[in-house]
Structure 1
Amino acid sequence: MAKLWAELILLFVALPFAVLYWIKHFADWLMPILCIIGVCCLAALLADKQFHRVRLWHWDDYKTHIKSTLKLFIPWASLLALVVYLVKPELFLHWPINQPWMWVVTLLIYPVVSVIPQEIIFRTFFFHRYKRILPSRYARWGLSTFVFGLAHLVYGNWVAVVISWVGGAIFGYRYMQTNSTPVVVIEHAIWGSFLFTVGLGSYLVIST
Protein backbone atom coordinates (compact mmCIF):
# COMPACT_ATOMS: atom_id res chain seq x y z
CA MET A 1 0.00 0.00 0.00
CA ALA A 2 2.78 2.44 0.96
CA LYS A 3 4.65 1.62 -2.24
CA LEU A 4 1.59 2.44 -4.34
CA TRP A 5 1.12 5.77 -2.57
CA ALA A 6 4.80 6.56 -3.08
CA GLU A 7 4.52 5.66 -6.76
CA LEU A 8 1.40 7.79 -7.18
CA ILE A 9 3.00 10.82 -5.54
CA LEU A 10 6.24 10.40 -7.47
CA LEU A 11 4.60 9.95 -10.86
CA PHE A 12 1.65 12.31 -10.60
CA VAL A 13 2.89 15.05 -8.24
CA ALA A 14 6.69 15.11 -8.03
CA LEU A 15 7.31 14.53 -11.75
CA PRO A 16 5.06 17.39 -12.99
CA PHE A 17 6.68 19.79 -10.52
CA ALA A 18 10.15 18.61 -11.58
CA VAL A 19 9.30 19.21 -15.24
CA LEU A 20 7.88 22.63 -14.33
CA TYR A 21 11.04 23.52 -12.38
CA TRP A 22 13.30 22.55 -15.28
CA ILE A 23 10.85 23.60 -17.98
CA LYS A 24 13.51 25.41 -20.03
CA HIS A 25 15.31 22.09 -20.42
CA PHE A 26 12.21 19.94 -20.92
CA ALA A 27 10.07 22.23 -23.12
CA ASP A 28 11.04 20.52 -26.37
CA TRP A 29 10.74 17.07 -24.81
CA LEU A 30 7.28 17.29 -23.28
CA MET A 31 5.52 15.12 -25.86
CA PRO A 32 8.27 12.44 -25.96
CA ILE A 33 8.21 12.29 -22.14
CA LEU A 34 4.43 11.95 -22.19
CA CYS A 35 4.59 9.17 -24.78
CA ILE A 36 7.31 7.29 -22.87
CA ILE A 37 5.29 7.43 -19.65
CA GLY A 38 2.21 6.33 -21.59
CA VAL A 39 4.06 3.32 -23.01
CA CYS A 40 5.38 2.40 -19.54
CA CYS A 41 1.88 2.62 -18.05
CA LEU A 42 0.49 0.53 -20.90
CA ALA A 43 3.20 -2.08 -20.37
CA ALA A 44 2.39 -2.20 -16.64
CA LEU A 45 -1.29 -2.73 -17.44
CA LEU A 46 -0.59 -5.50 -19.95
CA ALA A 47 1.68 -7.23 -17.44
CA ASP A 48 -1.01 -7.14 -14.76
CA LYS A 49 -3.16 -10.28 -14.94
CA GLN A 50 -5.94 -8.57 -13.03
CA PHE A 51 -6.34 -5.89 -15.67
CA HIS A 52 -9.12 -6.49 -18.18
CA ARG A 53 -7.37 -5.73 -21.46
CA VAL A 54 -10.67 -5.41 -23.27
CA ARG A 55 -10.92 -1.92 -21.76
CA LEU A 56 -8.22 -0.80 -24.17
CA TRP A 57 -10.31 -1.48 -27.25
CA HIS A 58 -13.91 -2.42 -26.51
CA TRP A 59 -16.57 -0.32 -28.19
CA ASP A 60 -19.83 -1.48 -26.58
CA ASP A 61 -22.78 0.89 -26.96
CA TYR A 62 -20.51 3.41 -28.68
CA LYS A 63 -23.45 5.13 -30.40
CA THR A 64 -25.05 5.85 -27.04
CA HIS A 65 -21.81 7.22 -25.59
CA ILE A 66 -21.02 9.36 -28.64
CA LYS A 67 -24.53 10.84 -28.50
CA SER A 68 -24.04 11.59 -24.82
CA THR A 69 -20.68 13.17 -25.59
CA LEU A 70 -22.18 15.42 -28.26
CA LYS A 71 -25.12 16.41 -26.05
CA LEU A 72 -22.62 17.70 -23.51
CA PHE A 73 -20.19 19.13 -26.05
CA ILE A 74 -22.44 21.13 -28.38
CA PRO A 75 -24.11 23.51 -25.89
CA TRP A 76 -21.07 24.02 -23.66
CA ALA A 77 -18.65 24.40 -26.55
CA SER A 78 -20.98 26.96 -28.10
CA LEU A 79 -21.11 28.90 -24.83
CA LEU A 80 -17.32 28.74 -24.44
CA ALA A 81 -16.83 29.96 -28.01
CA LEU A 82 -19.10 32.92 -27.26
CA VAL A 83 -17.14 33.72 -24.10
CA VAL A 84 -13.83 33.65 -25.98
CA TYR A 85 -15.31 35.86 -28.72
CA LEU A 86 -16.55 38.42 -26.19
CA VAL A 87 -13.71 38.35 -23.65
CA LYS A 88 -10.69 37.54 -25.82
CA PRO A 89 -11.67 38.50 -29.40
CA GLU A 90 -8.00 38.64 -30.43
CA LEU A 91 -7.72 34.90 -29.71
CA PHE A 92 -10.97 33.82 -31.35
CA LEU A 93 -10.18 31.44 -34.27
CA HIS A 94 -6.62 32.79 -34.28
CA TRP A 95 -4.94 29.55 -35.39
CA PRO A 96 -7.36 28.60 -38.22
CA ILE A 97 -7.23 32.14 -39.62
CA ASN A 98 -3.60 33.15 -39.06
CA GLN A 99 -1.73 29.84 -38.83
CA PRO A 100 -3.87 27.35 -40.76
CA TRP A 101 -1.07 24.86 -41.40
CA MET A 102 -0.07 24.75 -37.74
CA TRP A 103 -3.73 24.31 -36.84
CA VAL A 104 -4.21 21.41 -39.29
CA VAL A 105 -1.00 19.68 -38.21
CA THR A 106 -1.95 20.10 -34.54
CA LEU A 107 -5.38 18.55 -35.10
CA LEU A 108 -3.79 15.61 -36.91
CA ILE A 109 -1.03 14.75 -34.44
CA TYR A 110 -2.61 15.92 -31.16
CA PRO A 111 -4.88 12.87 -30.67
CA VAL A 112 -2.00 10.45 -31.27
CA VAL A 113 0.90 12.00 -29.36
CA SER A 114 -1.09 13.69 -26.59
CA VAL A 115 -4.65 12.40 -26.10
CA ILE A 116 -3.99 8.66 -26.26
CA PRO A 117 -1.03 8.72 -23.81
CA GLN A 118 -2.93 11.00 -21.42
CA GLU A 119 -6.00 8.75 -21.36
CA ILE A 120 -3.89 5.64 -20.82
CA ILE A 121 -2.02 7.34 -17.96
CA PHE A 122 -4.70 9.36 -16.19
CA ARG A 123 -7.74 7.18 -16.74
CA THR A 124 -6.99 3.56 -17.72
CA PHE A 125 -3.79 3.17 -15.68
CA PHE A 126 -4.78 5.40 -12.75
CA PHE A 127 -8.21 3.85 -12.22
CA HIS A 128 -6.83 0.30 -12.28
CA ARG A 129 -3.44 0.73 -10.64
CA TYR A 130 -4.62 2.57 -7.55
CA LYS A 131 -7.80 0.64 -6.89
CA ARG A 132 -6.19 -1.01 -3.84
CA ILE A 133 -5.39 2.29 -2.13
CA LEU A 134 -8.47 4.10 -3.43
CA PRO A 135 -11.29 1.51 -3.35
CA SER A 136 -13.95 4.12 -4.14
CA ARG A 137 -14.06 4.83 -7.84
CA TYR A 138 -15.28 8.34 -7.02
CA ALA A 139 -12.12 8.87 -4.97
CA ARG A 140 -10.07 7.73 -7.95
CA TRP A 141 -12.13 10.01 -10.17
CA GLY A 142 -11.53 13.00 -7.91
CA LEU A 143 -7.81 12.40 -7.46
CA SER A 144 -7.21 11.61 -11.12
CA THR A 145 -9.01 14.85 -12.01
CA PHE A 146 -6.84 16.81 -9.58
CA VAL A 147 -3.50 15.39 -10.77
CA PHE A 148 -4.58 15.75 -14.41
CA GLY A 149 -4.96 19.48 -13.86
CA LEU A 150 -1.75 19.57 -11.85
CA ALA A 151 0.17 18.06 -14.75
CA HIS A 152 -0.84 21.04 -16.89
CA LEU A 153 1.07 23.41 -14.63
CA VAL A 154 3.91 22.91 -17.11
CA TYR A 155 2.14 25.35 -19.43
CA GLY A 156 2.74 28.13 -16.94
CA ASN A 157 -0.79 29.54 -16.65
CA TRP A 158 -3.85 28.97 -14.50
CA VAL A 159 -6.22 28.76 -17.50
CA ALA A 160 -4.63 25.49 -18.64
CA VAL A 161 -5.00 24.03 -15.15
CA VAL A 162 -8.66 25.02 -14.79
CA ILE A 163 -9.53 23.79 -18.28
CA SER A 164 -7.79 20.51 -17.49
CA TRP A 165 -9.63 20.10 -14.18
CA VAL A 166 -12.95 20.49 -15.97
CA GLY A 167 -11.86 18.20 -18.79
CA GLY A 168 -10.42 15.65 -16.37
CA ALA A 169 -13.72 15.50 -14.50
CA ILE A 170 -15.61 14.93 -17.75
CA PHE A 171 -13.23 12.28 -19.10
CA GLY A 172 -12.93 10.50 -15.76
CA TYR A 173 -16.70 10.30 -15.35
CA ARG A 174 -17.04 8.99 -18.90
CA TYR A 175 -14.43 6.34 -18.17
CA MET A 176 -16.35 5.25 -15.07
CA GLN A 177 -19.47 4.93 -17.21
CA THR A 178 -17.88 3.02 -20.08
CA ASN A 179 -14.66 1.34 -18.89
CA SER A 180 -13.51 2.10 -22.42
CA THR A 181 -10.30 3.88 -23.34
CA PRO A 182 -11.34 4.52 -26.98
CA VAL A 183 -14.59 6.25 -25.98
CA VAL A 184 -12.73 8.60 -23.63
CA VAL A 185 -9.98 9.22 -26.19
CA ILE A 186 -12.58 10.37 -28.72
CA GLU A 187 -14.25 12.72 -26.22
CA HIS A 188 -10.89 14.14 -25.16
CA ALA A 189 -9.86 14.64 -28.80
CA ILE A 190 -13.12 16.43 -29.61
CA TRP A 191 -12.73 18.87 -26.74
CA GLY A 192 -9.02 19.39 -27.27
CA SER A 193 -9.39 20.03 -30.99
CA PHE A 194 -12.16 22.51 -30.25
CA LEU A 195 -9.95 24.40 -27.78
CA PHE A 196 -7.16 24.68 -30.33
CA THR A 197 -9.68 25.85 -32.92
CA VAL A 198 -11.63 28.39 -30.89
CA GLY A 199 -8.52 30.20 -29.69
CA LEU A 200 -7.55 28.69 -26.35
CA GLY A 201 -4.65 26.73 -27.82
CA SER A 202 -2.26 29.48 -26.80
CA TYR A 203 -2.82 28.46 -23.16
CA LEU A 204 -1.98 24.84 -23.96
CA VAL A 205 1.50 25.27 -25.37
CA ILE A 206 4.76 25.66 -23.50
CA SER A 207 5.80 29.24 -22.78
CA THR A 208 9.40 29.62 -21.63
Structure 2
Amino acid sequence: MIALFLGIPIVVALWVQQLGGWLMPLLGVIGIACLAVLLADKQFKRFRLWHFADFKTHLGATLKVFIPWACLTMALVYLIKPDIFMQWPIEQPALWVTTLLIYPIVSVIPQEIIFRTFFFHRYKRIMPSKHVRWAVSTFAFGLAHLVYGNWIAVVVSWFGGALFGYRYMQTRSTPMVVIEHAIWGSFIFTVGLGTYLVVAPGQ
Protein backbone atom coordinates (compact mmCIF):
# COMPACT_ATOMS: atom_id res chain seq x y z
CA MET A 1 0.00 0.00 0.00
CA ILE A 2 2.80 2.41 0.90
CA ALA A 3 4.69 1.62 -2.31
CA LEU A 4 1.62 1.94 -4.53
CA PHE A 5 -0.14 4.91 -2.99
CA LEU A 6 2.79 6.88 -1.57
CA GLY A 7 5.96 5.77 -3.31
CA ILE A 8 4.79 5.84 -6.92
CA PRO A 9 3.06 9.26 -6.73
CA ILE A 10 6.14 10.84 -5.15
CA VAL A 11 8.52 9.27 -7.69
CA VAL A 12 6.34 10.37 -10.60
CA ALA A 13 5.99 13.89 -9.16
CA LEU A 14 9.77 14.19 -8.78
CA TRP A 15 10.49 12.93 -12.31
CA VAL A 16 7.39 14.28 -14.02
CA GLN A 17 9.43 15.97 -16.76
CA GLN A 18 10.74 12.58 -17.86
CA LEU A 19 7.56 10.61 -17.17
CA GLY A 20 4.92 13.19 -18.14
CA GLY A 21 4.09 11.53 -21.45
CA TRP A 22 3.66 8.17 -19.75
CA LEU A 23 1.11 9.17 -17.09
CA MET A 24 -1.94 7.69 -18.81
CA PRO A 25 -0.20 4.44 -19.84
CA LEU A 26 1.16 4.09 -16.29
CA LEU A 27 -2.30 4.68 -14.85
CA GLY A 28 -3.74 2.11 -17.22
CA VAL A 29 -1.12 -0.52 -16.31
CA ILE A 30 -1.68 0.02 -12.58
CA GLY A 31 -5.44 -0.14 -13.10
CA ILE A 32 -5.18 -3.43 -14.99
CA ALA A 33 -2.85 -4.86 -12.33
CA CYS A 34 -5.26 -3.89 -9.53
CA LEU A 35 -8.17 -5.38 -11.48
CA ALA A 36 -6.22 -8.62 -11.97
CA VAL A 37 -5.54 -8.84 -8.23
CA LEU A 38 -9.24 -8.33 -7.50
CA LEU A 39 -10.35 -10.97 -10.01
CA ALA A 40 -7.85 -13.46 -8.58
CA ASP A 41 -9.20 -12.91 -5.06
CA LYS A 42 -12.02 -15.34 -4.36
CA GLN A 43 -13.29 -13.14 -1.54
CA PHE A 44 -13.87 -10.21 -3.88
CA LYS A 45 -17.50 -9.80 -4.94
CA ARG A 46 -17.18 -9.31 -8.67
CA PHE A 47 -20.67 -7.93 -9.09
CA ARG A 48 -19.33 -4.64 -7.74
CA LEU A 49 -17.63 -4.15 -11.08
CA TRP A 50 -20.85 -4.03 -13.06
CA HIS A 51 -24.02 -3.84 -10.97
CA PHE A 52 -26.40 -0.87 -11.20
CA ALA A 53 -28.74 -1.58 -8.28
CA ASP A 54 -31.01 1.41 -7.56
CA PHE A 55 -29.41 3.31 -10.45
CA LYS A 56 -32.07 6.05 -10.60
CA THR A 57 -31.89 6.65 -6.85
CA HIS A 58 -28.11 6.96 -6.80
CA LEU A 59 -28.03 9.07 -9.97
CA GLY A 60 -30.55 11.40 -8.39
CA ALA A 61 -28.38 11.68 -5.28
CA THR A 62 -25.37 12.41 -7.49
CA LEU A 63 -27.18 15.20 -9.35
CA LYS A 64 -28.49 16.72 -6.12
CA VAL A 65 -24.88 17.23 -5.05
CA PHE A 66 -23.54 18.11 -8.49
CA ILE A 67 -25.99 20.80 -9.63
CA PRO A 68 -25.72 23.29 -6.74
CA TRP A 69 -21.99 22.80 -6.20
CA ALA A 70 -21.25 23.01 -9.91
CA CYS A 71 -23.17 26.29 -10.09
CA LEU A 72 -21.24 27.65 -7.11
CA THR A 73 -17.93 26.53 -8.63
CA MET A 74 -18.76 28.21 -11.95
CA ALA A 75 -19.54 31.45 -10.13
CA LEU A 76 -16.30 31.31 -8.14
CA VAL A 77 -14.15 30.60 -11.19
CA TYR A 78 -15.84 33.43 -13.12
CA LEU A 79 -15.30 35.88 -10.27
CA ILE A 80 -11.83 34.83 -9.11
CA LYS A 81 -10.17 33.53 -12.30
CA PRO A 82 -12.11 35.00 -15.24
CA ASP A 83 -9.10 34.41 -17.52
CA ILE A 84 -9.58 30.63 -17.35
CA PHE A 85 -13.39 30.55 -17.25
CA MET A 86 -14.66 28.22 -20.03
CA GLN A 87 -11.19 28.48 -21.58
CA TRP A 88 -11.04 25.09 -23.26
CA PRO A 89 -14.50 25.09 -24.92
CA ILE A 90 -13.94 28.64 -26.20
CA GLU A 91 -10.26 28.64 -27.15
CA GLN A 92 -9.52 24.95 -27.74
CA PRO A 93 -12.82 23.26 -28.68
CA ALA A 94 -11.13 20.29 -30.38
CA LEU A 95 -9.02 19.55 -27.29
CA TRP A 96 -12.08 19.99 -25.07
CA VAL A 97 -14.23 17.56 -27.07
CA THR A 98 -11.40 15.03 -27.31
CA THR A 99 -10.84 15.25 -23.55
CA LEU A 100 -14.53 14.69 -22.78
CA LEU A 101 -14.56 11.64 -25.05
CA ILE A 102 -11.44 9.85 -23.86
CA TYR A 103 -11.13 11.07 -20.26
CA PRO A 104 -13.76 8.70 -18.76
CA ILE A 105 -12.14 5.68 -20.42
CA VAL A 106 -8.42 6.26 -20.01
CA SER A 107 -8.50 8.13 -16.69
CA VAL A 108 -11.73 7.76 -14.71
CA ILE A 109 -12.19 3.99 -14.99
CA PRO A 110 -8.61 3.11 -13.92
CA GLN A 111 -8.72 5.64 -11.07
CA GLU A 112 -11.97 4.24 -9.68
CA ILE A 113 -10.71 0.67 -9.90
CA ILE A 114 -7.49 1.65 -8.09
CA PHE A 115 -8.65 4.14 -5.46
CA ARG A 116 -12.10 2.82 -4.68
CA THR A 117 -12.77 -0.79 -5.74
CA PHE A 118 -9.25 -2.10 -5.15
CA PHE A 119 -8.42 0.06 -2.13
CA PHE A 120 -11.63 -0.62 -0.20
CA HIS A 121 -11.35 -4.39 -0.71
CA ARG A 122 -7.61 -4.98 -0.58
CA TYR A 123 -6.92 -3.15 2.69
CA LYS A 124 -9.97 -4.24 4.63
CA ARG A 125 -7.87 -6.47 6.89
CA ILE A 126 -5.50 -3.74 8.02
CA MET A 127 -8.25 -1.09 8.10
CA PRO A 128 -11.46 -2.83 9.19
CA SER A 129 -13.36 0.46 9.44
CA LYS A 130 -14.69 1.51 6.06
CA HIS A 131 -14.57 5.13 7.22
CA VAL A 132 -10.83 4.82 7.86
CA ARG A 133 -10.40 3.32 4.39
CA TRP A 134 -12.48 6.19 3.03
CA ALA A 135 -10.24 8.77 4.73
CA VAL A 136 -6.97 7.13 3.68
CA SER A 137 -8.11 6.55 0.10
CA THR A 138 -9.21 10.20 -0.09
CA PHE A 139 -5.77 11.34 1.07
CA ALA A 140 -4.04 9.00 -1.39
CA PHE A 141 -6.24 10.21 -4.25
CA GLY A 142 -5.25 13.83 -3.62
CA LEU A 143 -1.60 12.89 -3.19
CA ALA A 144 -1.58 11.20 -6.59
CA HIS A 145 -2.38 14.57 -8.15
CA LEU A 146 0.89 16.08 -6.89
CA VAL A 147 2.14 15.21 -10.35
CA TYR A 148 0.44 18.35 -11.71
CA GLY A 149 2.65 20.57 -9.59
CA ASN A 150 0.01 22.79 -7.99
CA TRP A 151 -1.97 22.76 -4.76
CA ILE A 152 -5.32 23.38 -6.50
CA ALA A 153 -5.16 19.97 -8.21
CA VAL A 154 -4.48 18.29 -4.87
CA VAL A 155 -7.25 20.12 -2.97
CA VAL A 156 -9.83 19.62 -5.72
CA SER A 157 -8.90 15.93 -5.82
CA TRP A 158 -9.29 15.62 -2.05
CA PHE A 159 -12.83 16.93 -2.31
CA GLY A 160 -13.49 14.65 -5.27
CA GLY A 161 -11.92 11.64 -3.56
CA ALA A 162 -14.05 12.19 -0.46
CA LEU A 163 -17.21 12.38 -2.56
CA PHE A 164 -16.41 9.37 -4.75
CA GLY A 165 -15.35 7.30 -1.76
CA TYR A 166 -18.59 8.15 0.04
CA ARG A 167 -20.59 7.18 -3.05
CA TYR A 168 -18.73 3.88 -3.31
CA MET A 169 -19.50 3.08 0.33
CA GLN A 170 -23.16 3.78 -0.42
CA THR A 171 -23.48 1.87 -3.67
CA ARG A 172 -20.65 -0.68 -3.69
CA SER A 173 -20.80 -0.11 -7.45
CA THR A 174 -17.78 0.81 -9.54
CA PRO A 175 -19.92 1.95 -12.51
CA MET A 176 -21.93 4.37 -10.36
CA VAL A 177 -18.77 6.00 -9.05
CA VAL A 178 -17.28 6.09 -12.55
CA ILE A 179 -20.37 7.98 -13.74
CA GLU A 180 -20.16 10.52 -10.91
CA HIS A 181 -16.41 10.97 -11.41
CA ALA A 182 -16.90 11.44 -15.16
CA ILE A 183 -19.62 14.06 -14.60
CA TRP A 184 -17.45 16.07 -12.24
CA GLY A 185 -14.29 15.64 -14.30
CA SER A 186 -16.00 16.74 -17.51
CA PHE A 187 -17.38 19.77 -15.68
CA ILE A 188 -13.95 20.66 -14.28
CA PHE A 189 -12.40 20.58 -17.76
CA THR A 190 -15.30 22.63 -19.13
CA VAL A 191 -15.43 25.37 -16.49
CA GLY A 192 -11.71 26.06 -16.72
CA LEU A 193 -10.14 24.25 -13.79
CA GLY A 194 -8.81 21.60 -16.15
CA THR A 195 -5.82 23.86 -16.69
CA TYR A 196 -4.62 22.76 -13.23
CA LEU A 197 -5.02 19.08 -14.12
CA VAL A 198 -2.56 18.79 -16.97
CA VAL A 199 1.21 18.47 -16.88
CA ALA A 200 2.67 21.80 -17.93
CA PRO A 201 5.39 21.70 -20.61
CA GLY A 202 8.83 21.77 -19.05
CA GLN A 203 7.42 21.03 -15.58
- The TM-score, its normalising length taken from structure 1, stands at 0.96
Aligned letter for 2:166? Y
Question: Of residues 34, 58, 65 in structure 1, which corresponds to 2:58?
Answer: 65
Partner Cα distance (1:112, 1:105) in 2: 12
1:15-30 map, 5 Å:
15-30=8-23
Q: Which runs of 4+ in 1 moved over 3 A?
A: none
Residue number in structure 2 paired with 1:176: 169
Choose from 127, 136, 140 the match for 2:133: 140
The whole-number CA distance in structure 1 between the counterparts of 2:91 and 2:110 is: 29
In structure 2, give the amino acid aligned to 1:47: A
Q: How many residues align?
A: 201
- Counterpart-to-counterpart distance in 1, 2:81 and 2:17: 28
Q: Secondary structure, in 3 states, of the residue corresponding to 2:64?
A: helix
Aligned counterparts, 1:1-208, within 5 A? 8-207=1-200, 208=203
> Once superposed, what is the RMSD of the aligned Cα atoms?
0.3
Percent of pairs with identical residues: 69
Distance 1:23 1:179 in 2: 33
TM superposition shift of 1:52 = 0.1
Please, which runs of 5 or more residues in structure 2 have no aligned partner?
none
**What is the Cα deviation at residue 119 of structure 1?**
0.1
User: 1 CA distance for matches of 2:173 and 2:87?
Assistant: 34
Q: CA deviation at 1:81?
A: 0.3
Alpha-carbon deviation of 1:164?
Answer: 0.2
